[in-house]
Structure 1
C-alpha cells in the first residue's frame, strides 16, 4: 500500500510539474529572445538618431556601443558599410530595411535588427545591430537548468511528503491487521488503537465493537457450557446412584422409594435444564426486547402467571405500585424475566406471603420482591453462578437475573436478609416516565 500511495502521489506531482514546466520553459525562451531583440532595436534606433544627412560627404558618424559580443554598423542606400562593423556588403535584413521599415531577423548565426535612417521622406541609410544567437541560447539553457532543478526539487519534496502520508495511512491499517491476526489466533483482548485519520478510526471502532460483541457472545457460551456441566453433573450422579441402588434391591417393595427418589431427581434435572437454556437465551432476550410495557400491565401479568403456583402451596402473592403511576413504561420481556426469577426463588426458598412492590425513585423504578423467610448463607455469594444457597435449586437464576438487570443499565441486589427482599432498580427516561394511557 505504501508503494502504491507513493506512486500515485509521484504521478500526480509529475503530471502537474509537466503541465506547468513545459509552458513555462517555452515562455522563458520566448521572453529572452524578445528581450534581446528589443535591446538590439533600441540600440539601432539610438544609432539612427545620431546619423547626420551629410554622412555620405564624409561627416563622421558616432554610433552607440553595440550589445555585448555584437556589432553595429551604418549602411548607405547601396548596402555599403559606411561606419561601424558588420558584413560587407549588407545582408538581407539591411536590404529589407532600405524599403523603409524596421526589420527583425536572423543572419548566419546572429540575431539582427535593422532601422532605416530617413531624411526628407527618403531613406538615406540603415543602422544594423547584430548579436550572436548563441549567447541568448546559453541564457535560455541556464534558465531551463534552473527550472529543471526546481522541478526535481519539487518532485523530491513530493516523494518525501508522499512517503510520510503513505506511512500515516499504512501504519494504522497494519496495526489493525496485526490485531485481526491476533484475534484469529485466539487473543480476544486485542484492541485496535486509534489514529489521526477519522475513516480508519471508524473502522477501528467498528472492529473493537465487533470484537467486544464476539467476546460477550463467547463468554455467554462458556457460561452456558460451565453451568450445564456443573448443574447437570450432580442430579445425573444422584439419579445414577438411585437406580444402581434399586437394582441392588432383592424385593419389589424396596423399589418404590428408590423409583420415587429417581423421579424427584428427574424433576430437578428437568428444572435445571430449563434454567440453563433460559440462561443461554439471556443475551438474545436483553437485546431483542425493545418493546415497552406499562408497570400496571406488567404487575397484572406477573400476578396471573404466578398466583396459581403460590396458591397450590397455600401461599399468597400480592402485587402493588406504591405512589407510582401504573402507566410508566419499562422494558417488557427483560423486567418480566427478572421478576419471574425472583418470584420463583421466593416460591422455592422463601416462606409465607410474597409481595411485589414498585416504588418511584424519580429517574428510576424500584421493584421489591419480598417474602417472610430469611436468606441463608453469605449474601455476597447469592449471585455467583453455581451457588445453590441451601443446596436446592439450580444456582443459576439469580446470576441470570443480575445479568439481565445489568444489560438494562440497572442493578439487582439483596436489600434485606430478613425478611428476604430483593430490589431491582431500572432507569426510566423522562419521556417514558410520562407513560402512555392504558
Structure 2
C-alpha cells in the first residue's frame, strides 16, 4: 500500500509539474526573445536620434554604445554602412526599414532591429541594432535549467510528503493486519488499537465488535458442550455400572445377550460424548493413532452392530474388504463413529441394500458407504450444520462426521449422487502400526 500511495502522489505531482512547467518554459522563451528585441529597438532609436541630416555630406556621426555583446550601425539609402558596426552591405531588415517601417527579424545568426531615420518626410538612413541569437538562446537554456531544478525539487518534496503520508496511512492497516493474524492463531483477546484516521478507526471498531460477538458465541457453545457432556457423564456412568452389575448377577441366558448389547451401546455413547467434548475444545490436536484397530476387526464389529437394525427394516448390509493390507491399523473409535453416522444416514434416508467397502489407496484407506437411493441438491451443502435435505433429522450427523474425519487428518465427501455413495479417507501409517502391535505383543 505504501508504494501505491507514493506512486499515486508522484504521478499527480508529475502531471501538475508538466502542465505548469511546459507552458511556463514556452512563456520564458517568448519573453526573453521579446525583451531582447525591445532592447535592440531602444538602442536603434537612441542611435537614430543622434543622426544629423548632414552625415551624407561627410559630417561625423556619434552613435551610442551598442547593446552588450551586440552591434549598432548606420546605413545610408544605398544600404552602405557609414558608421558603427555591422555587415558592410545592408541586409534584408535594412532594406525593409528603408520603406519607412521598423523592421524586426533574423539575419546571419543575429536578432536584428532596423529603425529608419527620417528628414523632411523622407528616409535618409537606417540605424541597425543586432545581437547574436546564441546569446539569447543561452539565456533561455539557463532559465529552463533553473525551471527544471525547481520542478525536480518540487517532485522530491512531493515524494517525501507522499512517503510520510503513506506511512501514516499504512501503519494502522499493518497493525490491524497483525491483530487479525493474532486472532487467526487463536488469540481471541486481541483487540485493534485506535489510530488517527477516522475511517480506519471505524473499521477497527467494527472488527473489535465482531470479534467480541464471535468470542462470546464461541464461549457459549463451548460452555454448552462442556455442561452437556458433564451432565451426561454421570448418568451414563451409572447406567454402565448398573448393566455391569446386572451381567454379574444375571444367570438367565436369554437376558445376558441383551444386557451385553446394552452395555456396549452405553460404552459407545460414552465415547461419543467424550469425542464431542474433545472437538469442542479449541487448540487440541487430533489424535489419529490413539487406540488403533485392525481394519478387518473394525468391519466385523460394525457389521455385528448394524446387521440387526437393517434386518428389522427388511434391508441388507454387506461389508467387504477389497484390498486392504493385513497390517493396516486405523483409529478405531473415531472411524467407527463416522461409519455409524453414515450407516444411520443410509438407514434413515436411503433405500435398498447398504454396502460398506474398504479400498487401499497406498497411504490412505477409503471407506465407501453406499445404498440404492439418490442424493439431490448441492452435494457441498449436505455437510452444512443444521441442514436436513428432506426435512427429517437435525442436520448435525454429517457435519459431525466431517469434523471427526478432519480431526483424524482425513476427509469425508459425497463421491456419487446415484447410487448415493459417501467416501471416508483415513490416513494410515504402517510403520507406526507395526511398532504399536509389537509393543502390545510384548
TM-score, with structure 2 as normaliser: 0.55
Partners of 1:74 and 1:187 in 2: CA distance: 96
In the alignment, is residue 183 of structure 1 matched against residue 183 of structure 2? yes
Partners of 1:127 and 1:58 in 2: CA distance: 17
Q: How does 1:394-405 map to 2 (within 5 A)?
A: none
Cα deviation 1:111-166 (Å, max 9, x = unaligned): 11010011111000000001111111111111000000001111111111111122
What corresponds to 2:84 in structure 1?
84
Cα deviation 1:379-398 (Å, max 9, x = unaligned): xxxxxxxxxxxxxxxxxxxx
What corresponds to 2:131 in structure 1?
131
Matched residue SS, 1:190? coil
| Aligned CA-pair RMSD | 2.6
Gaps of 5+ in 2: 253-272, 274-442
Partners of 1:121 and 1:149 in 2: CA distance: 54
Q: How does 1:341-352 map to 2 (within 5 A)?
A: none
Partners of 1:250 and 1:209 in 2: CA distance: 61
Q: How does 1:283-362 map to 2 (within 5 A)?
A: none
CA gap of 1:107–1:249, structure 2 versus 1, over 3 A, is same
Per the TM alignment, residue 244 of structure 1 is displaced from its structure 2 partner at its CA by 3.9
Partners of 1:55 and 1:251 in 2: CA distance: 160
Cα deviation 1:383-421 (Å, max 9, x = unaligned): xxxxxxxxxxxxxxxxxxxxxxxxxxxxxxxxxxxxxxx
Partners of 1:243 and 1:79 in 2: CA distance: 140
What corresponds to 2:14 in structure 1?
14
What corresponds to 1:71 in structure 2?
71
Matched residue SS, 2:216? helix
CA gap of 1:244–1:100, structure 2 versus 1, over 3 A, is same
What corresponds to 2:278 in structure 1?
none
Matched residue SS, 2:162? helix
CA gap of 1:250–1:26, structure 2 versus 1, over 3 A, is closer
What corresponds to 2:95 in structure 1?
95
What corresponds to 1:228 in structure 2?
228
Per the TM alignment, residue 246 of structure 1 is displaced from its structure 2 partner at its CA by 4.6
Per the TM alignment, residue 250 of structure 1 is displaced from its structure 2 partner at its CA by 6.2
Identify which range, 230-239 or 195-204, moves more after superposition: 230-239
What corresponds to 1:393 in structure 2?
none
Matched residue SS, 1:115? strand
What corresponds to 1:45 in structure 2?
45
Number of corresponding residues: 259
Cα deviation 1:255-312 (Å, max 9, x = unaligned): xxxxxxxxxxxxxxxxxx9xxxxxxxxxxxxxxxxxxxxxxxxxxxxxxxxxxxxxxx
What corresponds to 1:206 in structure 2?
206
Partners of 1:145 and 1:193 in 2: CA distance: 49
What corresponds to 2:370 in structure 1?
none
Gaps of 5+ in 1: 253-272, 274-438
Partners of 1:86 and 1:135 in 2: CA distance: 17
Matched residue SS, 2:179? helix
Partners of 1:24 and 1:143 in 2: CA distance: 10
What corresponds to 2:29 in structure 1?
29
Per the TM alignment, residue 249 of structure 1 is displaced from its structure 2 partner at its CA by 5.0
Partners of 2:188 and 2:250 in 1: CA distance: 57
Per the TM alignment, residue 197 of structure 1 is displaced from its structure 2 partner at its CA by 1.6
Matched residue SS, 2:165? helix
Matched residue SS, 1:164? helix
Partners of 2:251 and 2:71 in 1: CA distance: 146
Per the TM alignment, residue 30 of structure 1 is displaced from its structure 2 partner at its CA by 0.5
Partners of 2:156 and 2:47 in 1: CA distance: 51
Partners of 2:29 and 2:37 in 1: CA distance: 13
Partners of 1:224 and 1:214 in 2: CA distance: 15
Matched residue SS, 1:186? coil
Cα deviation 1:363-393 (Å, max 9, x = unaligned): xxxxxxxxxxxxxxxxxxxxxxxxxxxxxxx
Partners of 2:80 and 2:241 in 1: CA distance: 141
What corresponds to 1:116 in structure 2?
116
Per the TM alignment, residue 248 of structure 1 is displaced from its structure 2 partner at its CA by 4.8
Matched residue SS, 2:126? strand
TM-score, with structure 1 as normaliser: 0.56
Per the TM alignment, residue 17 of structure 1 is displaced from its structure 2 partner at its CA by 0.7
Per the TM alignment, residue 240 of structure 1 is displaced from its structure 2 partner at its CA by 3.1
Partners of 1:8 and 1:124 in 2: CA distance: 67
Matched residue SS, 1:129? strand
